[in-house]
C-alpha cells in the first residue's frame, strides 16, 4: 500500500511539473503567428492583424481572450500608436505555460523571449538563425521600448501602417535574440521592402507577435 501511494504521489508530482500542467495553470497570452498572412507586410492594418491573432489563438484552442498584434503605427500630423500601449499590462505566458514577462517593464527590459520560448500558437518553435530558412525577423514597426517612431522619426517603419506589400519598410525584431549584432526582440533593423519576397530576403516570413490584452 505504501509503495502504491509513493508511486501515485511521484506520478502526480511529475504531472504537475509537466509542460501540459503548466499550460493548464497559465493560459496562453503570447505567441508568434505560425504563418504570415501571405501578403507581405499588408496585414489589413491593425484591425486585420488583431483579427488574425484572434483567429489563430481560437484555432489553437484559446478562446475568450482579447488579442492584439504587437505593432506600432505612424500617422503624419499626430502621434503614432505604440505597440506597448495595445497589449495590456501582463503577465503573459507562452503556449507551454512559461512566463514571458510579468509586466510591460519586464517585457521591454528583461523578457523571457529566446528561441526556446518564443513559440507559435501551437507551442512550436519558430525558425531562427541557423535554420533553413531563417525566419527570425518579426514585424513590429517599433522602437526598442515598444513605442512608435513618429513623430521623432518620419521615415516609414510600418509599411504604410501595415497596408503595403510594395514600397516602404518595416522595422522588425529578432525573436531568437541573434543576428546582425542586434539582439532586440522588438527592434533589430528595417526590412528591404514590404512584399513577401522582400521580407524573406532579410530573414523573415511576415510573422508578428500576438499578446492577450485582457
DSSP lists the bridge partners of residue 204 as 137
The mean pLDDT value of the chain amounts to: 89
* Residue percentage of the chain with pLDDT more than 70: 86
pLDDT reported for residue 117:
98
CA proximity to 60, closest of 111, 89, 96, 91 = 96
Q: What CATH number labels 32-212?
A: 3.10.100.10
Global pTM reads 0.88
pLDDT reported for residue 150:
82
Cα distances (angstroms) measured from residue 181 to each of 139, 146, 163, 174, 189: 18, 19, 29, 11, 10
Contact 169, 192 (CB under 8 A): yes
DSSP lists the bridge partners of residue 171 as 190
pLDDT tier for residue 151 given thresholds of 50, 70 and 90 = confident
CA proximity to 106, closest of 163, 170, 48, 30 = 30
> What value does the mean pLDDT take over residues 188-206?
95
Q: Is residue 19 pLDDT above 50, yes or no? A: no
Domain boundaries, the chain: 32-212
Per-residue pLDDT of 85-120, as tens digits, reads 999 999 999 999 999 999 999 999 999 999 999 999
Per-residue pLDDT of 113-130, as tens digits, reads 999 999 999 999 999 999
Q: What is the four-CA torsion angle of 176, 177, 178, 183, rounded to 10 degrees?
A: 160
Amino acid at each position: 500500500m505504501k509503495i502504491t501511494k509513493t508511486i501515485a504521489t511521484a506520478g502526480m508530482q511529475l504531472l504537475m511539473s509537466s509542460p501540459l500542467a503548466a499550460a493548464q495553470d497559465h493560459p496562453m497570452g503570447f505567441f508568434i503567428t505560425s504563418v504570415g498572412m501571405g501578403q507581405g507586410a499588408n496585414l489589413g492594418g491593425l484591425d486585420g492583424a488583431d483579427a488574425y491573432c484572434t483567429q489563430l489563438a481560437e484555432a489553437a484552442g484559446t478562446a475568450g481572450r482579447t488579442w492584439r498584434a504587437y505593432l506600432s503605427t505612424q500617422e503624419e500630423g499626430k502621434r503614432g500608436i505604440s505597440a506597448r500601449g495595445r497589449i495590456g499590462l501582463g503577465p503573459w505566458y507562452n503556449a507551454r505555460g512559461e512566463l514571458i514577462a510579468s509586466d510591460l517593464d519586464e517585457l521591454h527590459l528583461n523578457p523571457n523571449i529566446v528561441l526556446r520560448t518564443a513559440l507559435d500558437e501551437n507551442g512550436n518553435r519558430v525558425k531562427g538563425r541557423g535554420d533553413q530558412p531563417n525566419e527570425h525577423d518579426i514585424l513590429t514597426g517599433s522602437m526598442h521600448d515598444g513605442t512608435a517612431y513618429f513623430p521623432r522619426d518620419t521615415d516609414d517603419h510600418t509599411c504604410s501602417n501595415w497596408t503595403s506589400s510594395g514600397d516602404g519598410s518595416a522595422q522588425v525584431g529578432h525573436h531568437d535574440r541573434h543576428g546582425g549584432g542586434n539582439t532586440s526582440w522588438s527592434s533589430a533593423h528595417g526590412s528591404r521592402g514590404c512584399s513577401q519576397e522582400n521580407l524573406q530576403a532579410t530573414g523573415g516570413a511576415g510573422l508578428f507577435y500576438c499578446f492577450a490584452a485582457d
